[in-house]
Structure 1
Amino acid sequence: MTILIPAMTQAENHPVSLTDDRGKTIELAQPATRPAAISTFGADVSVALGRQPVAITTFGLQGVPAYLGPEMEKIPSLGPRHQPNLEQLSRIAPDLVFAIRRYTEKDGPQIEAIAPMVAMDLITLQDSLDAVALAGDALGRPQQAREINQRFKARLDSLAARSPGNRTVAILTSGGETPFVYYDHFLTASLLERLHFDNVGGSPPNPESGIPLGYRISLEALLALNPDVILLLPSNRQRGFTVNPVWPYLQAVKNDQVFEVGQHWKESAGPIARSLVLDDIERLLLPDDTPLKTSSR
């Protein structure tokens, strides 16, 4: 993802040229002030940069994330991100749409007939940093976006210095009989890796594409990996795998190191969500009395 901003002016009405994760260039006559979000990220980054979105998509039965604040309840809904209501989007007439690339490929032309669309991958930590910078330029808040990224990276480094490491972790989701575990490149897994945890999900088979994000793992296979810590992402159903006879034998279960975390762990690319992820890691997994590491890592 590249960002091209004319250097000659930072006026509020300057033209903006953006290149998104499709490699497509989007030309704006001036920074957007009425963004729509076909992604939790779009709403998150807009709020963080002081631009209230004019329309937002929902995420499963959980709707709009509560961590974005009560004002989001007043914003018109476009329905689910994988099937947004384009008639509603057309009526609202945003001046920019923030979208997740893999969910909007089939509807891209229809969306772009309504408003310019920035489509982003939003899988890895670098995706998140790039997308926040891109959104900052799109919304006329480039310095603010850079500062948000700098503060986040500084906090990540600070927590890494406190983390003792030497623990394995699994991030699990699904309400079925077999959990889904995330690969190392998935943003929250990569944050844990940066903090010296070892994600048992392992490396992705297709690092260039980023897809799939993870894989189904049997409880027997998970027991063979036997992580020290298990993090459970939200599910709309009772997690069938937690009543499997194998579940109590996992050392994370026996040691009371299984933690339920919020929706921000699944949709973590936005500035607000990823900061909340670090809050959780610090609260749940990092001891208060750990001395600072002297390593330069």
Structure 2
Amino acid sequence: MRITRMILGLTAAATFFVAACGTTEEPTSNAAATSEAGPVTVVDSRGKEVKLPHPAKRVAATEWNGVEHLVSLGVMPVGVSDIKGYGQWVSAGKLDGTPKDIGTRGEPSLDTLGSLGLDPVIVTDSVTEGALEQVEAKVPVIVIKGGNAQDPIAGMYAGLDVIAKATGTETKAAQLKSEFEQKLTTGRAEVEKLGALGQKVAFSDAYVTSGSVSIRPYTKGALVSAVFGKLGLETAWPVAGDPAYGLAQADVEGLTQLPDVRFWYIANNADGDPYQQELANNAIWKNLPFVKSGKVRRFPDSLWMFGGPKSMEQFVDAAVGALKN
């Protein structure tokens, strides 16, 4: 199943869970990642207190933002949903081959979760009614938000901080945030040097269903768009996105609403590229002003659009690289 289709289910969840440069140092082992401190209490996105007898060492995550947060914090998860897909889409937090696959992100295996001796499992807040209770009956659960279109970067930090407190890695979390803020500062200086401050960008991905191309605009509320905004680039999309992820829906005809902007997109060789394949000979696509003027750029593969600070650092580099090219 295309990863883009899985994320599209955010607005109409019918599954168990719905979605949501490398690390500066190699992740340590689970035993070394946390100290032998006393009990830990975290307040998750539900406002629920989750009490752990010690900083978590054996942790699983069903969504890839949680997985990336763990790896970036130096805690290699013992369980990850859809490990193959994670490897195809997330390059900022590489797994070391030890995590066990716990099933799909939409429907992780309860039996597998129950067999791993987990301290907690990290899930996102997009769960169908009753699903959370089923998991919580097996293992302790910490819930983080998948996204926050009102303040995407703050939402990313909030998830990172909860996981850091649960795992005793708060110092590392502070370092990750500081490095990301510095990356934004450096990136904005590059954008200014290139004379691109204030330029408009339309970022998207696309997928194919029954032969038809659906386009997914990343509007002002998307995490990637918030990063571009910090670089001094404005979002060109005239449509509003969903309240969690800032994602909208469009088709090729809808692209005619855009003027001659920079049109950037993400694709993946594992799933194909609808812009270069299905739309290559589409008359509407070929006559769009940004296509005719050569302002279409595909970002590098394996940059996770819903990830953590390290993924977003990759988007800073990709944006600056697109401006230079």
TM-score (norm 2): 0.75
Identity across matched positions, percent: 22
| 1:293 corresponding residue in structure 2 | none
| 2:306 corresponding residue in structure 1 | 267
* Structure 1 residue 111, shift from structure 2 partner: 1.5
| 1:181 corresponding residue in structure 2 | 217
| 1:148 corresponding residue in structure 2 | 176
| 2:283 corresponding residue in structure 1 | 245
In structure 1, distance between residues paired with 2:41 and 2:239: 34
Tell me, yes or no, if structure 1 residue 172 matches structure 2 residue 204: yes
Q: Is the 8 A contact 1:171 1:232 kept in 2?
A: yes
* Structure 1 residue 29, shift from structure 2 partner: 1.8
Q: Is the 8 A contact 1:17 1:25 kept in 2?
A: yes
Q: Tell me which amino acid in the other structure corresponds to 2:164.
A: G
In structure 1, distance between residues paired with 2:291 and 2:232: 21
| 2:254 corresponding residue in structure 1 | 221
| 1:92 corresponding residue in structure 2 | 116
| 1:291 corresponding residue in structure 2 | none
1:103-135, Cα deviation, whole Å (9 max, x unpaired): 466421122122222212232211111111221
| 1:201 corresponding residue in structure 2 | 237
Q: Is the 8 A contact 2:201 2:264 kept in 1?
A: yes
Tell me, yes or no, if structure 1 residue 136 matches structure 2 residue 164: yes
* Structure 1 residue 84, shift from structure 2 partner: 0.8
1:229-252, Cα deviation, whole Å (9 max, x unpaired): 222222524513454211122233
Equivalent position SS for 1:256: coil
> Which protein, 1 or 2, shows the higher relative CO under an 8 Å CA cutoff with sep ≥ 6?
2
Q: 2:100 aligns with which of 76, 85, 104?
A: 76
1:48-90, Cα deviation, whole Å (9 max, x unpaired): 1111100101278565646256644442111221111111111
* Structure 1 residue 284, shift from structure 2 partner: 2.1
| 1:254 corresponding residue in structure 2 | 292
Q: Tell me which amino acid in the other structure corresponds to 2:175.
A: E
Alignment of 1:4-15 (within 5 A): 12-15=36-39
Q: Tell me which amino acid in the other structure corresponds to 1:135.
A: I
Q: 1:205 to 1:276 in 2, by over 3 A?
A: closer
* Structure 1 residue 275, shift from structure 2 partner: 2.0
Q: Tell me which amino acid in the other structure corresponds to 2:123.
A: A
Equivalent position SS for 1:109: helix
| 1:5 corresponding residue in structure 2 | none
* Structure 1 residue 218, shift from structure 2 partner: 3.2
Query: 4+ residue runs of structure 1 moved beyond 6 angstroms?
Result: none
* Structure 1 residue 255, shift from structure 2 partner: 3.2
Deviates more, 1:249-258 or 1:148-157: 249-258
Q: 1:144 to 1:111 in 2, by over 3 A?
A: same
Q: Is the 8 A contact 2:200 2:235 kept in 1?
A: yes
**RMSD between aligned alpha carbons?**
2.7
In structure 1, distance between residues paired with 2:92 and 2:175: 20
Q: 1:88 to 1:110 in 2, by over 3 A?
A: same
| 1:19 corresponding residue in structure 2 | 43
Q: Is the 8 A contact 1:169 1:227 kept in 2?
A: no
Q: Is the 8 A contact 2:65 2:306 kept in 1?
A: yes
**Unaligned runs of at least 5 residues, structure 1:** 1-9, 288-297
In structure 1, distance between residues paired with 2:92 and 2:201: 27
| Greater per-residue strand proportion | 1
Q: 1:250 to 1:147 in 2, by over 3 A?
A: same
> What count of residue pairs does the alignment treat as equivalent?
274
Equivalent position SS for 1:118: strand
Q: 1:187 to 1:60 in 2, by over 3 A?
A: farther
Q: Is the 8 A contact 1:168 1:198 kept in 2?
A: yes
Q: 1:41 to 1:265 in 2, by over 3 A?
A: closer
* Structure 1 residue 161, shift from structure 2 partner: 3.1
* Structure 1 residue 154, shift from structure 2 partner: 2.2
